[in-house]
Structure formats: C-alpha cells, structure tokens
Chains A and B, each alone.
Chain A
C-alpha cells in the first residue's frame, strides 16, 4: 500500500480529514447550542460550531483542485460527500456533555496541531489559512481545558463520566497522526507540507493535552507519563489493525451523517 501513495494523495487525504472532522465537530458542537450545563457554555458551543463550520468552508473548496475530486465532483461538497474521513467517535451525537468536552479537548486540539505545523507550509492554501484558524482555536483550547479541570475537580460520577468520555476518544485521537512509519506522514514532511512527521505531531499534541490530564490525575488510565527529558510516553497498544490510513479512522465501516 505504502509504495503507491503519492505526496498529492497524502495531501488530499489530509485536507479531506481536516475538513470532514471539522465539519462533524461543528455539527456535534451545534447540537449542544441549547443544552450545555451553563448558559455561557451554550453560547460558547454555538460560537465554536460556527468557527468549525467556517473552517470547513475554507477547506472543502481546496479539494476541488485535486484530480480525485474531478473524478467525483460531488466529493468536495459536504452536502454531497459520501466518503467522510472523520474519526469514528464523531459518527454519532455525543452521549453527554463530557463527550463534548472530550472531543473539544482531544480532537479539536489534534486538528489544531496540524495547523501549527502548517504555518510555514509549502502548500500555500494551507499556510494561508493556518494563522486564522489558530487565532480562532485559542478560545476552543481555553474552553476545553477549563472544562476538563472543572469536571475533574467536581469528583464523583461527574469525574467518572469525564474519564469515560476521554477514554472513548483517546486511542483514536492518539492514532490520528498515523503510525510512526506512516508513508503519508513522511511524504507530507519531506514535501514541506507539514513541519514534522507523525511522531513529532503526536508528541506536540501530547504536550498540549498532557499537563491538564496529569494535573487532574486523569492520565493514569492512558498510562500517559512525561519522562525526565520532557518527552511524553503513552505506551498503550495502539489498534493499528483497525486503522484506515486513508481516512484516518479506527473503523472500516462507512461514516454517515
């Protein structure tokens, strides 16, 4: 499989995964616009949904310049796409507010890591959107980390529900950057699309989410530790046998709306 992948295909897959994950993240956020635990968070959910859908609006059109989209024109509009490349845990509505926070904290941050590594990208359309996306994502990060700490502090069943939600999203988000020897990731790094390979991206993401998990004593479930040298280790056995590399998701069955 790996030998047949081109940089162009890797870039198309990356853009499709970014667009589809942001599209479904926006939809899932929107479902909580009037259901969050506080009025302020309902407003924040609406604002973040608007941001995510705005990001998709800026990314989907990029797909139409690729031959893959020319073969199937319907595949670059979210309304007509049939082959979504979103993580499996966005396939269905969140089961509760802790799921919202887990996706907000883990996945939204993972998507931002891509834009952080694309700020000097040789692919201008991604570089030209990266700073604006990151500007808007600052608030998402503050919101999610604040809520992780708040729910963890609450204790009891609330803390338990948060831990369960984080666990549901953890492995797939950890996998999301690809295997360490992922040919797609390597092509994107070599081609200057992203400023790092899969493991560097994953380390950066762990650096972003790790401290709040450690300080809230939520990291033990993921075996997450920080070594003396600062490197993060999360030695879970990753289920690569279920990994769909082209669509960056852990389940093979089609995603659906």
Chain B
C-alpha cells in the first residue's frame, strides 16, 4: 500500500475520519452513501458489516482497512452492500487484493448476495483518516505520523 512513502508525503488535514462507526453520521454529503438510508431493522446488520470489514487487513501491515481509514461510505440495500473505498496511493499495488478481500469477507455475512465497490479519490486519504488504534499500530511498526 506504499504506506511509508504515502505517509511521509501526506499533508495532514483537519478532516475528521467519517468512516469510523462512531463518526458515520458525519457522512452526509449529497450523493454519498448514508447510513440513515438504512431501515431500523438493518441497523444491527450495519454494525455487523463494520465488524466484518475490521477483519480485512492491509496485506502489508497488521492493520484493518477500517482503522486505516479506507472505507469512505457503507450502505446495505437488502442483499446488496455498497461501499466507497479509497486508498493511500493511486498506485497502491495491493488495491485489487484488498478489493477481493473486502468482497469475499462481506459475502460471508448472512443475506449478503452482492457487493458493489466504488473506488473514490476525493477526499484524498491523509493520516487524519487513521483511527487511534490504527495510529498505535503504525507507530508500533515504526512508521512515524
């Protein structure tokens, strides 16, 4: 995922990370996938989807794509899960691998029959998208933030 180089060159921004479950309500820009489109009985399912995504790791580091801040938006419409994902670098060599892992993991969830993933580049990824747990993991691996 080119993390060291990407981190070294990224300009920190003040953006909050809208991907974390606790911050998902921030994700309300027009056209974005929004959690509030879920029916009440789907709320539990959404939590399960976030938990499932936490099991998908970056292939190069033991950090989940959720803690890495790659999940920009998540929505479930009956049997379909729609995600917007971003990556630390446009030339990320692990991109296809991560997309495959995300699809495979979500398809294991009950009732999920289809996974639609859109790769987005705006907003660009910055270290501000890392969760606290993600920051700790990267520091432990010697990656300065």
Same complex origin of A and B:
yes
- Footprint of B on A, CB under 8 Å? 47, 50-55, 57-58, 127-133, 135-136, 138-139
Interface of B is mostly: loop
User: Do B120 and A51 touch (CB < 8 A)?
Assistant: no
CB of B143 closer than 8 Å to a CB of A: no
List B contacts of A128 (CB < 8 A): 120-122
Shortest CB-to-CB span from A114 to chain B, Å, is 15
Query: Contacts A50-B2, A135-B11 hold; do A127 and B91 have CB atoms under 8 A apart?
Result: no
**Which A residue sits closest to B8, measured CB to CB?**
A139
Other CB < 8 Å A-B pairs besides A55-B90, A132-B122, A135-B11, 16 of them? A50-B89, A51-B89, A54-B89, A54-B92, A57-B91, A58-B90, A128-B120, A128-B121, A131-B121, A131-B123, A132-B90, A133-B90, A135-B9, A135-B10, A135-B126, A136-B90
Shortest CB-to-CB span from A19 to chain B, Å, is 13
User: Do A55 and B91 touch (CB < 8 A)?
Assistant: yes
List B contacts of A53 (CB < 8 A): 91
Shortest CB-to-CB span from B45 to chain A, Å, is 29
CB of B142 closer than 8 Å to a CB of A: no
- 30 of the cross-chain contacts (CB-CB < 8 Å) are A47-B5, A50-B89, A50-B93, A51-B90, A51-B91, A54-B91, A54-B92, A55-B90, A55-B91, A57-B91, A58-B90, A58-B121, A129-B121, A130-B122, A131-B121, A131-B122, A132-B90, A132-B121, A132-B122, A132-B124, A132-B125, A133-B90, A133-B121, A135-B9, A135-B10, A135-B11, A135-B126, A136-B9, A136-B89, A139-B9
Compute how far the CA of A139 lies from the CA of B91 in the bound complex, rounded to whole angstroms.
Answer: 14
Shortest CB-to-CB span from A123 to chain B, Å, is 13
**Which A residue sits closest to B120, measured CB to CB?**
A128
User: Do B124 and A135 touch (CB < 8 A)?
Assistant: yes
**Which A residue sits closest to B92, measured CB to CB?**
A54
Which 6 A-B residue pairings sit nearest by Cβ, starting from the closest?
A: A54-B91, A54-B90, A132-B121, A50-B91, A132-B124, A139-B9
**Which A residue sits closest to B93, measured CB to CB?**
A50
Compute how far the CA of A179 lies from the CA of B44 in the bound complex, rounded to whole angstroms.
Answer: 59
List B contacts of A54 (CB < 8 A): 89-92
List B contacts of A130 (CB < 8 A): 122
User: Do A47 and B11 touch (CB < 8 A)?
Assistant: no
